[in-house]
Structures are given as structure tokens and as C-alpha cells.
Amino acid sequence: MAVVLVRATESTTGRTTVAIEDEVCVIGGGLAGMTAALRAAHEGARVRLLSHKKSTLRHASGLVDILGYADGELVADPFDALSSLPKTHPYRRVGNDAVRAGLSLFDDVTGDAYRGTHTDANALVATHGGTVKPTARYPARVAPGLASRDRKTLLVGFDSLTAFDAPLAADHLAAAGVPGTTRGVTVAFPGDFRADSRVTRFARALDDDETVETASGSTPVRRALARTLESHLGDAERVGFPAVLGEGESQEVREALESSLGIDVFEVPMGPPSLLGLRLEALFQEALDEAGVRRTTGNPVTEFDASDGRIQSVSTDRNGRPTPFHADEFVLATGGLVGKGIDSDREGVVEPVFDCHVPHPDDRYEWFDDEAFGDHPFARFGVDVDDDLRPLDADGGAEYDNLRAAGGVLGGADFAAEKSGSGISLATGHAAGRAAGAAANQ
Amino acid sequence: MATETEALVIGGGSTGCGIARDLALRGVDTTLVERGNLTHGTTGRMHGLLHSGGRYAVSDQESAAECIAESRVLREIASHCVEMTGGLFVQLPADDDEYFEEKLAGCRDCDIPAEVISGEEAREIEPYLTRDVERAIRVPDGAIDPFRLCVANAADAEKHGARIETHAEVTDVLVEDDQVTGVEVRHESGPGKRSHHEPGTTERIEADHVVNATGAWAGELGAMAGVEVEVRPSKGVMTVMNTRQVDTVVNRCRPKGDADIIVPHETACILGTTDVEVEDPDDYPEEQWEIDMMIDTLSELVPILSEARTIRSFWGVRPLYEPPDTGTTDPTDITRQFFLLDHADRDSLEGMTSIVGGKLTTYRLMAEQITDHVCEKLGIEGNCRTAEQPLPGSEDFSVLRDYMEEFGLRSPVGRRSAERLGSKADEVLKTDDPNPVVCTCEAVTRAELDHAIADAGTDLNATRIRTRASMGNCQGGFCAHRIAALLHPEYDEATTRTALDELYEERWKGQRHALWGEQLSQAMLNHALHATTMNRDRDPAASDDGIEYDRFDAGPPTPEAAADGGRAGACDGIDDGEDDRGD
Ligand SMILES: Cc1cc2nc3c(=O)[nH]c(=O)nc-3n(C[C@H](O)[C@H](O)[C@H](O)COP(=O)(O)OP(=O)(O)OC[C@H]3O[C@@H](n4cnc5c(N)ncnc54)[C@H](O)[C@@H]3O)c2cc1C
Ligand SMILES: Cc1cc2nc3c(=O)[nH]c(=O)nc-3n(C[C@H](O)[C@H](O)[C@H](O)COP(=O)(O)OP(=O)(O)OC[C@H]3O[C@@H](n4cnc5c(N)ncnc54)[C@H](O)[C@@H]3O)c2cc1C
């Protein structure tokens, strides 16, 4: 691995500081930024990843969607439907091959932890609200629960975990016409946990197989949980829990439950804090460390230096003190409205780091639709890019020669309605990382 | 088939609920009908200021004196609905000295405790006030929760034998020979508490006396009875901030004007307001300039407001009334007094009284006067007890108990629950089941929600106003579905889903006026949680076209799957995506 070049410069505060130099600098540590950094590193570049806060993966389900709906219609094969998207859609910018390449990088990083590589077809996963949703890759812990598998299913909820009401979800899935029958039951999580325990508390108890007090004495929690369910199993062929079955030891937890119950065990993806999303983030971070990507987290990039149409450096801000990072190529992967890569006030919408142009209507009453699930222009807010993913200014020229953008910061796609969030991050992160890495090598 | 009642009250706002309670306490057989949920009209869309009277101390001293007297009463009988924040009338350099002196003198004339403090002292109380504050008058303004207030009045009326029907719209007033004999009512889902998906019914209610307490809609009800009631609805905007930038009510000390008051409420504070006459109280424009004016003008008083996060805006219509031939052009000049219209005197129509105008702070006094009048008509004797008898929730109210220990709630949750529930806290929160927090922003537990649902049926907006659940920063993004789930299994899945959609839409409606900055980010997060994670926007259960499940991946091939013939989804190597179709 190359050594970081260190050079003394004059910082804006007048004090001498140590400058940090890399070949590729990625701003934003979400799925898009991590993918770009990893791909650029594979290109042989020396890569720095700067990230301010936790990525949106802690909110996300942990599923990896490519495309679930096109023109509002459910899509069975996302790769078939890509060409029906508008030309300004990020997928059209990078092309089908980049979508596959991004996904294949994902498969390498996640290995056994994810399923879905055997087919191009979308899978339908039960949601914690009781619908099903189309996705391309799903955690192994979710796999036995797929809706297309015709099984008698028992869903189990915990009475203090209000985000998953198993009997309601079961009735909802029936209304959605899923094959097989679905029943739901609510039980108390064994042991004396506070009513407000966080999901991580249950997960940890299962990871460590903590001893809990039950009516029949002290029992390891996995066994106690299995015992709680015995009388409810009936003819069920698989049993689904909210995704709280362990953090680090989830496979062991699931296997223990499967062997006690004698049927398949699966998990239903949940909202924040999402253990599946956090687990996905951890897998990528391990891969980044292995690839030698340097991660600097905790402070936002607030300033940059540019000359001759190129970004020379960016600076993070730590309590008012700037730290500059120099590089040859930059990737902007700061996320969309949720990740704060796109910001707004009453007057307009901006990309706050480089002030790249963000197309939007002048009148803020044209940013939204009147219905909650309407076609919201705001959901598509983001920078517009050329086919090399370089952000475009208002006149359609590249903002900077050595700046590319990836992931949620890109405009032109309503990932929530399309079910395309992680897919766009993977495809564009891959394309931006490869191009930045290659350019840095020249 | 007709049902009978002595007094029929139309309208479930503060006025109608107050009258129903007073009538019931005096032993009158009473029915109240409201077309939406309680507070559906102006009462659910007002600023929540418990007036000290200071705002009227110059322009309308009679109102001012009533306000301070009633404020003192409500602090006693409705303590669980009131927070005595105190209030300031703040003078900036541009504001007239003479008016300041008039205000002070006016307060003293009306028995409103008023104290002049320096700019510095004012900033000690409210550090975010602008630096150039000259001085201020301190008065006993407060905040009042209109929802809790109405629910408590209605609950007490019911306890004393009244019948309260929500989602029951009066479609006709029955008149025979110059005598109102009753009304025709359409129940949205049958009588009793709301249940979506239940068929509607109609009912004829015969009454000895009808009270038209429909506020801004009083003209429509009058027309049904063939009399004219000259209400002049005037709209006003209120903008909700994400946090309490101020802890006291902050008024600008200058003659009438738009955007001159900030009222702290629970976890938020609310900016207001405008005053623009509208034609139709059900259909008027909600305009961007109104919100911009709230933020721009009030940030002269509290500068950080220009940067702060707003979470939604809403509008209400004042039921202003002007006696015929007064001819006031500017709605801000129309009196805030209330009027009792005795249609027997006025229009030779027996059996009906209309009440219009007024304000929430004086609702009890208004109700007392109407009830006196109705009792006289009915020939019923009975004294008004509403000034002394506490409302349910405010009886013998001592929150001395440690709710954390008693109910296993984390202390801020316990404190906020107890503040909302007052003396009902015991009854509501005591449960043997675990009692998790369902709405984190507002610290509302499952037990409190279950209790509200027992009252409100599937109308989750009625549950919302009882508990504040889904009214915080996330505007239901994190909790709307959890709240709805509590309806099941008492109500079936389809009903639960409809109720959730209705709550979510209602929350969206107000947020549309706050979509920039943090709240736009929150809106996108909510959109992602509900559309992406839960796929609620394309819910297959809500669509007529069934999904062909066997066109989708059923999981990786396993020995077992192979054994059952690879049923449901081709599992091996579909390269072009064609193999798993067409059968
Ligand atoms: C609630 C929710 C559910 C989702 N569910 C799914 C799903 O089911 N399936 C799916 O495929 N996708 C889903 N997604 C989408 C997916 O998780 C990501 O949001 C998407 O891939 C975008 O990722 P990103 O890397 O572009 O941005 P983000 O994840 O937003 O990451 C941006 C990063 O940049 C950092 N940053 C921002 N500004 C700066 C700065 N100035 N300096 C330094 N760092 C900065 C942020 O702190 C953050 O770490 C979901 C998203 C959300 C919000
Ligand atoms: C912007 C604004 C701010 C305000 N701020 C304050 C303040 O801070 N402090 C204060 O004291 N006062 C304030 N007020 C005044 C106060 O809100 C009102 O005076 C009070 O709420 C009126 O109550 P009400 O019961 O008379 O009318 P409403 O609350 O409007 O009640 C009338 C009810 O009748 C129902 N109805 C209509 N037609 C029918 C039908 N056909 N059948 C059955 N029911 C029907 C409606 O649905 C409605 O619920 C404010 C008003 C506005 C507009």
C-alpha cells in the first residue's frame, strides 16, 4: 500500500498544518460513497473517504433494490425495464452494464450474507407494514420468508415492539394475495426487559444467549423464545420475526431457533434503527479497510479550493478549524435530502458543498404534490450530470473536470416510488469510482 | 323513526361542547351533533392563547375584562388543559410610546395584572428576543389545549347523561308552522363511535329547542331553517415551529396587525396570524405569502425564527358576526364579542337560538349565557355550576406522584403523560401489559392511545387530538402506522388501513406548507419509510390487479425446493429473465 504523502502548508487560520494528499477523495460515506471508494481502490488509486455523519443505511431496510416499479407498474425483471426509464435517469446515464457491475461488486462484498444472485427476477419481501415489496438482493436472514414461496407462515411479533404488529401484517399479506396462509401472533419477549428497550437490546440478548427468568426458571433466551412459540406453531412451515434476531451472531441465533422449532426461521426488515442496514454498512466498511481506503469521519466538508476548472482540495470543519484534503479526483456522494447532500430553504434548493446547480421550480409550492403518495418533484431533486457523472451547471457544462457525483445526490429518480435506492447508489458509485480511479492513474 | 331530546346542540367546537356540558349539568336532556370529530371546525384550528385580555385592553375593554375573569376560572376548572406561560407585550424602537402607555392603562382598567419591565429584563425572560427590545409589559397570558378542553367538556356532558354524536352532520332543520321541531342528521358510519367501512345512516332527531353553535357555518344552518345569520368568516394562518423558541407568549405591542404573536405549546411554538375575509369557510386559499409573512415579520421580534424549522402550517376561520347594517369593511375591526340570536324575537321562528362570534377563552361564559337562555325557554330551573366544577382530568389534580415508578415509564414520558391526562392519569396508564412509547416526539404510550381509541373508534385524527400522537417533528412518519395498528384486531385489516391512510394524508396536508430545509429532509425520510421500506404507495392489497407471485424469485435453489419441483419461481440460473414467465 502506498504511503500517505504529507506536506506542510499554510492553513487559512495562519497556523502550519499537515496537508493530506490522496489520489481520489470521496465525500460521503453512504452506500454510494463506499462503493465509489472501493471501486477506485480496485483501480489501484490511493483513496480517502470523508464522511460527516452515519449514512442513511441505519434508516434503510437493508434490502437492495434495483428497480421495482416502472411507470407505476410492478416490474418482475428490473434489467428488462431499465431501458424504459427517461434518459436523464441515473441508470440511463451509466448504462445497464454499470448496473450489473455495481451489483456484482455488492455481491463480492457481501458474499454469504445476501441472496438473490441466482436470478435476475425481483423477489417480493414481506414488509413490516404487511405489504410485499420488490427487491433484487436480500439478506440471507430474510431469504426463507420470500412471498413467492408457497408456505404456511407464522409471523411473530413482540408486544413491546410496536412497529411490527404480526396479526395485522398477516391479515394484510393475505389481502395482498400472497400464496400460502399467513397467521400472526404477538408474544412477550422472554425475560424482564423494559417496555422501551431498543431493538439492539433484544439483539444483544440473543447474540449472547443471555439467561433470562421465565415461569419455568432461568433459561437461555434463545431456548426460552423457542419455547414461547411452541404452542403457536401449529402447522406452520416457516416462522418470521421482526429483524432483531442478533447483530454479530445472527446466523447462530437463527440456526438455534430453527433447530429448536424444526422449521425455517426468517426475519422481516424493519425501519430505524435497522439492524439489517447497519449490518450492511459494517460489511462495506470491512471491505474498505481491506482495500486500504482511508476513512476520516465525524466532520463535514464545508469548503473547497478550485482553480483551472478543477477542484484542488476540500476542507472539513472541526469546531471552526479547517483540515484540507488534496486529491486529483473527487467524488461527491453526500446523499439526497435525507443525507443532507441536497439542502433547501424557502428560496431554493442547493448542493451545499460545491454549490453545484440543482434544477428545481422557483415556486416552492411546485416542489410537492398535494397527496401524500403523489408524484413529488422534491423526491427527484439532485444534481444533473453528464454521461461521465460530472455535475452540470445551469448551462449544461461540467461544473469541474475532476468532480463526479454518485448516489442520492443525483437528481432525476424518485427512488422511494421506484424502489431503486441502493441500486442507483451501487451503479453510479461503481461508475464514478472507476472513472475517478482511472483518471487518477493517468 | 325519530329520536327525541329536550335540547339539541349543533356543533362540537368549544362553544357547542361547553353548552352541552352546562345543559347536562343542569339536568337538561341534551344531544350534541357534530359533522366531523370534536374540534373539527375553528376550535381545532386556532392559536391556543388563553387570553389575559391584554390584546383587547385598548380596543375592546369589555372583552378584555371577560378574558381575565374567564382565564382565572379556566386555570381552576381546566388545569390539565392550561399552561400558564405568562405573556409579554414587547415594544421595539419602531413602536409607539403612546400606544404602550395606553395598553398599560387599559390592562389596569380591566383588572389585568400588568408590570412594565426593561428590555434587559425581557431578554432575561426570553433570551432570543431581538437585542433592540425597548421594554415590555408582562401579563398573565397562557396556552390552552383546545382539543383536550372540548373532549373533557363532552366527556363530562356524557357522564351527566348527554348524547354526543360525532361524524353526524345536520342536513336539514325541520320547521313546522314557524317552529323548529328538530333536525335531520346523516351519520357517516352509523350512530356511536366512528368505524370506517360501516354504512352510513340517517336519523331524525326531534327537539324542544335547537342551539345552532356552528360558528363560521352558522349561516348555512340558519339557511336550513329559513333565517339569515350574517357571519363573516375571516381566515388566519398559524405556523408551527419545531421547538419552543420562546417559553412565554410574545406579543408585539402595537395596534392591530398581522403576524404579531407567538404562543408556546407543548414541544412547539406557533406563530400567528392573518385576518382576511373569505367567502366560504370550507374552501379558501391557503397562501404562501401568509407563511412568509409570519416568519419574516415575527423574526423582527425573535430573529432566530428566520433560520428555524417549521413543521407545518394550518388555517382557521373566525366566526365573526356583525349585526345587520353595521357595514365594517376591515375584518380586524369587527368586534370579537359574541352574539346570541334569539330567532323567536328576531325572525318569529320559535325553537332555535344561534350563537356566533366570541373566542375560545370565554367559551364557558358564552355557554353559561346560552344555557340560561335555553333553560328559560324550556322552563327549567337550575344553576350554572361550570365555573366551580372541575372538568374530568382537572379534579383534585396533584401530579405529585412519581409516574416513573408507578407506571414503569421513563420520567419525561411519565411527566408529559401526566400533564396531558391530569387526574385521569391513574385510570388511563394503569395496565398490566407492557406500555411502550408509540409516539416518541410527543411521548405518548400505548395505554394512552388505547384509551383514546376506545372513545374515538377508527377516527385516528380524533385519537390524535386527544393525545397529541403524530403531532411532533416527524409528523407521523415514525408512528402513524404504529398508532393505526392498535385498531387491529378489534377492527379488521382493511378498516385499519383506511384509518392509517386518512391520518397520514391529514398530516401531509399541513406539512406541505413547511417543505424546505429540515422539514423537507424529514418529508423525504418519511416518504422513504412509507414508500420504500413499507411500500405503502404501491400496496398490492389496495390494488385490483393481483400479483402473479410465481413470476418472482422464490429464493435460491435448495435441495428441498428441487424436491418439490421448484414450485413458485424458477430458481436456477435465469439469465435473461424470460424463463420464469409465460406459464
Ligand atoms: C428510510 C430509507 C429506506 C430505504 N430503503 C431502501 C430499500 O429498501 N432498498 C434500497 O435499495 N434502498 C433503500 N434506501 C436507499 C438507500 O439506503 C440510500 O439512501 C441510497 O442508496 C443513497 O445512499 P447514498 O450513499 O447516496 O447517501 P447517504 O446514505 O445519504 O449517505 C450520504 C453520506 O454523506 C455524508 N455527508 C453529507 N454531507 C456531507 C459533507 N458535507 N461532508 C461529509 N460528509 C457528508 C452523510 O453524513 C452520509 O454519511 C432507503 C433509504 C431510506 C432513507
Ligand atoms: C386564526 C384564529 C386564531 C384564534 N386564536 C384564538 C386564541 O388564541 N384564543 C382564543 O380564545 N380564541 C381564538 N380564536 C377564536 C376561537 O378559535 C373561536 O372563537 C372558537 O374556537 C369558536 O368555537 P365554536 O365552537 O363557536 O366554533 P367551531 O369550533 O367552528 O365549531 C363549530 C362546529 O360546527 C360544526 N358544523 C358545521 N356545520 C355543521 C352541520 N351541518 N352539522 C353538524 N355540525 C356542523 C363544525 O364542524 C364545527 O366543528 C381564534 C380563531 C382563529 C380563526
Q: What is the pLDDT of residues A217-236, one digit of tens each?
A: 999 999 999 999 999 999 99
The four Cα atoms B107, B113, B119, B122 give a dihedral, to 10 degrees, of -130
Average pLDDT, chain B: 91
Q: Three-class SS of residue A34? A: helix
**Ligand 2 centroid distance, CA of B368 (Å):** 17
Residues A113 and A267: beta-carbon distance below 8 Å: no
Give the cell for residue A36.
465509489
Q: Are residues B252 and B107 part of one domain? A: yes
pLDDT bin (cut points 50, 70, 90) of residue B559 is: low
Distance from CA of A358 to the nearest CA of B (A): 14
Where do we find the cell 347523561?
A: B161
Cell of B68: 381575565
What is the CA A210 to chain-centroid distance, rounded?
Answer: 30
The pLDDT score that the predictor gives to residue B408 is 61
Q: Hey, are the CB atoms on A175 and B488 less than 8 Å from each other?
A: no
B573 confidence band (pLDDT: 50, 70, 90): very low
Question: For residue A9, is pLDDT > 60?
Answer: no
Report the distance separating Cα A407 and Cα A334, nearest Å: 8
Q: What residues contact residue B19 under an 8 Å CB cut-off, 6+ apart?
A: B9, B211, B213, B355, B367, B370, B371, B374
B169 and B210 housed in the same domain? yes
Residue B187 lies in a domain: yes
Instruction: Inspect the interface and report whether the beta carbons of B541 and A131 lie closer than 8 Å.
Output: yes
How far apart, in whole angstroms, are the C-alpha atoms of residue B226 and residue B400?
55
Q: What's the pLDDT tens digit per position in B42-88?
A: 999 999 999 999 999 999 999 999 999 999 999 999 998 999 999 99
pLDDT at B581: 28
* Contact present, B358 and B15 (Cβ < 8 Å): yes
Mutate which: A80, A141, A338, A419, vs B, most B CBs within 10 A: A338
Q: Which phi and psi (to 5°) does residue A239 adopt?
A: -135, 135
Return the CATH fold of A143-268: Rossmann fold (3.40.50)
**A171–B contact, CB cutoff 8 A:** yes
Q: Measured between alpha carbons, how far is B258 from B269 in angstroms, rounded to an integer?
A: 17
Same domain, B34 and B158: yes
Residue A195 has which C-alpha cell?
Answer: 417496555
Ligand 2 close to Cβ of residue B43 (< 6 A):
yes
For ligand 1, say whether the CB of A49 is within 6 Å of any of its atoms: no
Neighbours of B544 (CB within 10 A): 5
Phi, psi angle pair for A126, to nearest 5°: -65, 135
Whether the pLDDT of residue A414 is over 90: the answer is yes
Total domains present in chain B: 4
Residue B516: which of A147, A364, A419 has the nearest Cβ? A364
Closest by CA to A254, choosing from A185, A180, A181, A203, is: A203
Are B135 and B153 contained in the same domain?
Answer: no
Give contacts of B448 with chain A, Cβ < 8 Å. none
Q: Give the position of cell 402506522.
A: B481
Q: pLDDT (tens digit, 9 = 90+) per residue, B289-299? A: 999 999 999 99
Are the CB atoms for B71 and B87 separated by under 8 Å? Answer: no
On whether both B504 and B567 belong to a single domain, the answer is: no
Separation in Å, CA of B561 to nearest CA in chain A: 9
Please choose, from the candidates A274, A266, A210, the residue with its C-alpha nearest in 3D space to the C-alpha of residue A239.
A266
CA distance A148 to A265: 16
A144 reaches B (C-beta below 8 A): yes
Number of residues that this document lists for chain B: 583
B112 plus B153 within the same structural domain: no
Q: Looking at the predicted structure, is the pLDDT value of residue A310 above 70?
A: yes
Residues of A in contact with B293 (CB under 8 A): none
Residue with the smallest CA separation from ligand 2 atom 3 is: B46
CB A84 within 8 A of CB A76: no
Q: Please indicate whether residue A215 or residue B248 has the higher confidence score (pLDDT).
A: B248
> Closest-lying ligand to the alpha carbon of A338?
1
Are B200 and B343 members of one domain?
yes
| Cβ-nearest to A336 among B524, B553, B561 | B524
Q: In sequence order, which residues have a C-beta less than 8 Å from that of residue B296 and are 6 or more positions away?
A: B259, B306
Least confident of A11-15, B145-149, B221-225, B486-490: A11-15
H or E element that contains B101: helix B97-109
Is residue B581, in this structure, part of any structural domain at all?
no
pLDDT above 70 coverage of chain A, percent: 96
B75 three-class SS: helix
What are the E-state strand segments in A160-286? Answer: 182-187, 211-214, 217-220, 238-242, 264-268
Domain boundaries, chain A: 8-110+278-441, 143-268
Within 10 A of B480 (CB to CB), how many other CB atoms are there? 30
Classify the C-alpha dihedral B108-B113-B119-B120 as positive or negative: positive
Are A189 and A219 a contacting pair, CB within 8 Å? no
CA separation for the pair B301, B92 (Å, rounded): 8
Residues 6+ apart with CB under 8 A from A88: A384, A411, A412
Based on the domain organization, do B223 and B287 belong to the same domain? no
Mean pLDDT, residues B342-360 taken together? 95
- Hey, how many other C-beta atoms are within 10 angstroms of the C-beta on A402? 21
Residue located via cell numbers 390487479: B545
With a cut of 80, say whether residue B478 has pLDDT above it: yes
> So what CATH class is A8-110+278-441?
alpha beta
| CA nearest neighbour of A124 among A106, A100, A146 | A146
The alpha-carbon radius of gyration of chain B (Å, integer) is: 26
Considering only CA atoms, which residue is closest to atom 48 of ligand 2?
A: B41
Are B164 and B130 in contact, with CB atoms under 8 Å apart? Answer: no
With a 6 A CB cut-off, is A322 part of the ligand 1 pocket?
no
Residue B96, domain extent: 83-141+232-317
**Among residues of chain B, what percentage have pLDDT more than 90?**
80
What residues of chain B lie within 8 A of the CB of A177, using their CB? 540-541, 546-547, 549
Longest C-alpha distance within chain B, in Å?
93
Q: How confident is the model at residue A124, as a pLDDT?
A: 98
Q: What is the pLDDT of residue A215?
A: 87
**Cell triple for residue B565?**
419441483
Distance from CA of A78 to the nearest CA of B (A): 9
Q: Which amino acid is at A432?
A: A
**Is B505 within 8 Å of A372 when comparing Cβ atoms?**
yes
Rounded Cα gap, residues B224 and B252, in angstroms: 42
Tell me, what CATH number does B363's domain have? 3.50.50.60
Average pLDDT estimate for A87-107: 97
> How much of chain A is in helix, strand and coil states, percent to nearest 5?
30, 25, 40
Q: Read out DSSP for B500-562?
A: HHHHHHHHHHHHGGG-SHHHHHHHHHHHIIIIIIS-GGG-GGGSSSPP-GGGSB--S--HHHH
Give the pLDDT score at B269: 96
Would the pTM of this model clear 0.80, i.e. be above it? yes
B499 inside domain: yes
Helix (H) or strand (E) holding B4: strand B2-10
- Residue B28 to residue B573: CA distance in whole angstroms: 78
A124/B550 touch (CB, cutoff 8 Å), yes or no: no
* Residue A121 contacts B where some CB pair is shorter than 8 Å: yes
How many Cβ atoms from other residues are within 10 Å of residue B489's Cβ?
A: 12
Q: Is the torsion defined by CA of A256, A257, A258, A260 positive or negative? A: positive
Q: With CA atoms as reference, report the closest residue to B377 among B163, B172, B180, B230.
A: B180
Residues B98, B214: one domain? no
CB atoms within 10 A of CB A188: 14
Q: Round to whole Å and give the CA distance between A65 and A137.
A: 7
B475 to each of B10, B241, B347, B481, B495, how far by Cα in Å? Answer: 31, 12, 47, 12, 22
Among A373, A414, A424, the strongest candidate for a mutation testing the B interface, having the largest count of B CBs within 10 A, is: A373
Cβ(B360) – ligand 2 distance below 6 Å? yes
The reported pLDDT for the residue numbered A302 is 96
Nearest atom in ligand 2 to the alpha carbon of residue B171 is 41
**What average pLDDT is seen over chain A?**
94
- Give all strands of the β-sheet with A5-10 in edge-to-edge order: A5-10, A16-21, A321-326, A310-318, A301-307
The complex scores an ipTM of 0.95
- More confident: B241 or B189: B241
Cell of A313: 482540495
pLDDT digits (tens, 9 = 90+) for A162-187: 999 999 999 999 999 999 999 999 99
What confidence score (pLDDT) does residue A162 get? 95
B447 in the same domain as B518: yes
B468 pLDDT more than 60: yes
- Phi and psi dihedrals of A207, rounded to 5? -55, -50
Residues B281 and B197 in one domain: no
Residue B107 lies in a domain: yes
Region label for B476, one of left (φ > 0), alpha (ψ between -120 and 50) or beta (otherwise): left
Cα B325 to chain centroid distance, Å, stands at: 33
Contact A78, A120 (CB under 8 A): yes
| Within a domain: B76 | no
Going from the C-alpha of B279 to that of each of A36, B44, B212, B231, the distances in angstroms are: 58, 20, 20, 10
Q: Is the CB of A323 within 6 Å of ligand 1?
A: no
Residue B151, class by beta-carbon neighbours within 10 Å (0-12 exposed, 13-18 middle, 19+ buried)? buried
- The pLDDT assigned to B575 comes to 34
CATH number of the domain where residue B125 is located: 3.30.9.10
Say if residue A366's pLDDT is above 50. yes
DSSP 8-state secondary structure symbol assigned to residue B391: P
Same domain, yes or no: B219 and B244: no
- Rounded-to-integer distance, Cα B464 and Cα B470, Å: 7
Cβ separation B553–A143 shorter than 8 A: no
Cβ pair B541:A172 closer than 8 A: yes
